[in-house]
Amino acid sequence: MMSTGILQLPGSEKQTFSNQHGEEIDFSWLPIGSVCLSIIGILTGALWVVAPVKKETNWFVGKITFLPIFFFRMLAWEIILIILDSFSLFIFLGFALLNWIVLLFVQDQFILEPINHALLSLIFPVFKLPSTKVEDTNSFKILFWMILTGNLFFLIVHGCLVLVYHYDIYNPWCKGDTDKLLISEEMFQNIHWTLISLCAAATFPTLVSYSIKLMR
| pLDDT tens-place values along the chain, 216 residues long | 444 444 444 444 455 555 555 555 555 555 555 556 555 555 555 667 777 888 877 777 777 888 899 899 989 998 998 888 888 999 999 999 999 999 888 887 666 778 888 888 888 888 777 667 777 678 888 889 999 999 999 999 999 999 999 898 888 888 766 666 778 888 899 999 999 999 999 999 899 888 888 887
Give the count of beta carbons closer than 10 Å to the beta carbon of residue 197: 12
User: What does the domain layout of the chain look like in residue ranges?
Assistant: 51-215
End-to-end CA distance of the chain: 44
Residue 114 CB partners (closer than 8 Å, separation 6+): 99, 100, 103, 104
pTM: 0.76
